[in-house]
């Protein structure tokens, strides 16, 4: 049934269509019509008032990560809108679905350097998946629906909708709409790519699986577990990939890259096939692209074709949603056997295992016991740890004989807890 509503009412009705019940924001003059209506409908929404618009955009980002829903934030024109930029950039880099709704000066004042007028649509082009400015109320409802669809489909990301204040006050007919179910991206999955990937896996003697944030976004934990068991390979991950694969599983060797474990870095250096599942190969993972996984072919699985061969050249790729791709491969791939390779990685894990100084320090290897001496305050002069092989290469990491042993920051935290 169609009914006459203001632009502000349409905004809230469209949010209800999408199942939104929580919004983050900070009010201002241009967006007051929406906030007035939000107050009238406060039973339907939980509004989190932040102290600053940047907090609202970061909160929407965090809400989306923790719930799997689209995060929504509100901001007013000018400085209110520009304050959400950092949160949108964060969501864009980490592929988090966020819809930011800002309000601007009236349509007749746009482009005239009016009070608190900023071309926020232009400002956010590089850091959003898409953005809109709605100058006609007739297009408002469909634009909001499209924004949510874009934010959620394919590789998720933030979308901004900028609405002039007079559009929120204007009226038009509104008809309720039921959003279509989001279908996982599989239209780009090619049979030849699947066959090629399976052939590479069968030929590999030392495969390694690298898990990125795409596996988390795709909710592919079950498919990934089955895939790792079928390939019979060790598994490492990126920071964004945490949670997709069980960190207590015997196949897991820790994170990869500069913040990763030595076992994972050595394993990837020695593997002959690296299967990258939903990762963009950031510089924190790659290090030197010329020497990264130099003995391996690389098979990359990603929903975004832009990520293929962007940071490192790969041997083969499959474009598609991680869950959809792994489901297809798991159906066709027979169980592989790589016991000797798994035992090698297990030896790496044991030899270079992380030692928690909060536990029994007497269980530490002799060389690492120097750390314990240092924490107790017995190392107070630089010449001492220089003469014993210790040196600080930067402010964060303490090194022993060129091997990073303990984060300097963790040492300071440990001392601050009253430990001697």
pLDDT score of 190? 93
Q: Is the pLDDT of residue 223 over 50?
A: yes
282: nearest Cα among 210, 232, 381: 210
Cβ neighbors of 59 (< 8 A, separation 6 or more) are: 24, 48, 50, 71, 73
CB 189 within 8 Å of CB 324: yes
d(CA 305, CA 318): 9
Q: Is the pLDDT of residue 398 over 60?
A: no
| Residue ranges, CATH 3.40.50.1220, the chain | 191-351
Q: Strands of 235-237's sheet, edge to edge?
A: 252-255, 235-237, 207-211, 273-277, 297-302, 316-319
Confidence band for 7, pLDDT divided at 50, 70 and 90: very high
Confidence band for 182, pLDDT divided at 50, 70 and 90: confident
Q: Please give the mean pLDDT across all residues of the chain.
A: 87
- CATH number for domain 2-175, candidates 3.30.56.10, 3.65.10.10, 1.10.3720.10, 3.40.50.970: 3.40.50.970
Q: Cα–Cα distances in Å, from 183 out to 79, 86, 152, 154, 320?
A: 37, 30, 10, 9, 12
Share of the chain above pLDDT 90, in %: 77
pLDDT score of 188? 83
pLDDT score of 184? 75
- In tens, the pLDDT along 230-241 reads 999 999 999 999
CB 98 within 8 Å of CB 57: yes
CB 292 within 8 Å of CB 282: no
d(CA 229, CA 248): 15
Where is average pLDDT lowest: 5-19, 350-364, 383-397? 383-397
pLDDT score of 401? 41
pLDDT score of 186? 75
pLDDT score of 113? 86
Q: Do strands 297-302 and 316-319 pair parallel, antiparallel, or not at all (unpaired)?
A: parallel
Q: Is the pLDDT of residue 373 over 70?
A: no
Contacts of 110-113 spanning 24+ positions with Cβ under 8 A: 110/135, 110/164
pLDDT score of 353? 76
Cβ neighbors of 402 (< 8 A, separation 6 or more) are: none
Q: Is 304 exposed, middle or buried (0-12, 13-18, 19+ CB in 10 A)?
A: middle
Confidence band for 386, pLDDT divided at 50, 70 and 90: very low
Q: Is the pLDDT of residue 6 over 60?
A: yes
**CB neighbours of residue 170 within 10 Å:** 18
pLDDT score of 111? 87
CB 230 within 8 Å of CB 335: yes
Q: Which two tokens stand for residue 30?
A: 């241009």
**CB neighbours of residue 283 within 10 Å:** 11
Query: How large is the C-alpha radius of gyration of the chain?
Result: 26
pLDDT score of 233? 97
Cβ neighbors of 42 (< 8 A, separation 6 or more) are: none
- In tens, the pLDDT along 75-124 reads 999 999 999 999 999 999 999 999 999 999 999 988 888 988 999 999 99
Q: Is the pLDDT of residue 377 over 70?
A: no
d(CA 373, CA 185): 55
pTM for this one? Answer: 0.81
**CB neighbours of residue 419 within 10 Å:** 12
Q: Is 391 helix (H, G, I), strand (E, B) or coil?
A: strand
Q: What is the signed CA dihedral for 16, 17, 20, 23, rounded to 10 degrees?
A: -60
Confidence band for 395, pLDDT divided at 50, 70 and 90: very low
Question: Domain 191-351 is classified in which CATH homologous superfamily?
Answer: TPP-binding domain (3.40.50.1220)
Q: Is 201 exposed, middle or buried (0-12, 13-18, 19+ CB in 10 A)?
A: buried
> Whose structure tokens read 């009914």?
3
pLDDT score of 183? 79
Share of the chain above pLDDT 70, in %: 84
| Residue ranges, CATH 3.40.50.970, the chain | 2-175
């Amino acid at each position: 049934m169609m009914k006459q509503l203001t632009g502000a009412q349409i905004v809230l009705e469209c949010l209800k269509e999408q199942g939104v019940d929580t919004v983050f924001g900070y009010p201002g003059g241009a967006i007051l019509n929406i906030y007035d209506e939000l107050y009238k409908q406060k039973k339907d929404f939980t509004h989190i008032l932040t102290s600053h618009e940047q907090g609202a955009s970061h909160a929407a980002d965090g809400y989306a990560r923790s719930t799997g829903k689209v995060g929504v934030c509100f901001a007013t024109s000018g400085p209110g809108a520009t304050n959400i930029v950092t949160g949108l950039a964060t969501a864009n880099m980490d592929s988090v679905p966020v819809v930011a709704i800002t309000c601007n000066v009236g349509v007749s004042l746009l482009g005239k350097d009016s009070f608190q007028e900023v071309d926020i649509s232009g400002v956010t082009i590089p850091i959003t998946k898409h953005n809109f400015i709605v100058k006609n109320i007739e297009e408002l409802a469909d634009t909001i629906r499209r924004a949510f669809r874009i934010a959620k489909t394919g590789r998720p990301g933030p979308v901004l909708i900028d609405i002039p204040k007079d559009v929120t006050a204007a009226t038009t007919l509104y008809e309720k709409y039921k959003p279509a179910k989001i279908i996982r991206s599989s239209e780009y999955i090619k049979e030849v790519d699947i066959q090629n990937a399976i052939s590479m896996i069968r030929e590999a003697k030392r495969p390694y699986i690298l898990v990125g944030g795409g596996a988390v976004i795709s909710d592919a934990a079950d498919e990934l577990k089955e895939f790792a068991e079928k390939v019979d390979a060790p598994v490492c991950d990126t920071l964004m990939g945490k949670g997709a694969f069980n960190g207590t599983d015997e196949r897991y060797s820790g994170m990869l890259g500069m913040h990763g474990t030595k076992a994972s870095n050595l394993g990837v250096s020695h593997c002959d096939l690296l299967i990258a599942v939903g990762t963009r190969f950031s510089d924190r993972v790659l290090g030197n692209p010329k020497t990264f996984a130099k003995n391996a072919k690389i098979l990359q699985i990603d929903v975004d074709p832009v990520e293929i061969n962007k940071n490192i050249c790969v041997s083969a790729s499959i474009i598609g949603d991680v869950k959809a791709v792994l489901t297809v491969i798991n159906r066709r791939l027979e169980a592989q056997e790589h016991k000797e390779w798994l035992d090698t990685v297990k030896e790496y894990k044991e030899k270079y295992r992380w030692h928690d100084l909060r536990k029994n320090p007497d269980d530490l290897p002799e060389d690492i016991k120097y750390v314990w001496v240092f924490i107790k305050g017995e190392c107070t002069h630089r010449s001492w740890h220089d003469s014993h092989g210790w040196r600080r290469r930067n402010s964060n990491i303490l090194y022993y004989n060129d091997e990073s042993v303990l984060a300097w920051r963790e040492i300071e935290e440990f001392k601050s807890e009253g430990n001697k």
